[in-house]
Amino acid sequence: MAEELHILWTNDNPVTSEKMVCMYAHNAMKRGWWDRITVIIWGAPALLAARDEAIRSKLAAMMKDGVTVSACRACAEELGVSDEIESLGIELKYWGEPLTALLKSGATLITV
């Protein structure tokens, strides 16, 4: 069975975003610590992903190396950044039900 990690990214602090979310997800994928990693952008980090060039660059590198990045569609729409998020190749979807299913299943989830 594949080992899968989900990172729920809700903190829009640029340092935390770069030095925890992006750094851990990217290194964990490159070093094979997990078979699959999904970063879920929820809330304010959607603005960082859309507008912060350093974060955009890190997300692109992570995705190139196999990290899946997905964002809450409702959040992106309400924040007016849907087009920017999609232009990065990030999936937009309504995450309420899938997150609930992850939590109920006991899946490995880090919330930042």
Q: What is the pLDDT of residues 93-103, one digit of tens each?
A: 999 999 999 99
> For 76, what's the count of Cα atoms within 13 Å in the CB-facing half-sphere?
24
pLDDT at 86 over 70: yes
Other C-beta atoms within 10 Å of 110: how many? Answer: 14
Q: CATH topology for 4-111?
A: Hypothetical Protein Ychn; Chain: A, (3.40.1260)
Q: Could you give phi then psi for residue 88, rounded to 5 degrees?
A: -85, -5
User: What confidence tier does 67 reach under pLDDT thresholds 50, 70, 90?
Assistant: very high
Distance in angstroms (rounded) separating the CA atoms of residues 71 and 26: 17
Q: What is the pLDDT of residues 37-65, one digit of tens each?
A: 999 999 999 999 999 999 999 999 999 99
Distance in angstroms (rounded) separating the CA atoms of residues 100 and 64: 28
Distance in angstroms (rounded) separating the CA atoms of residues 67 and 26: 7
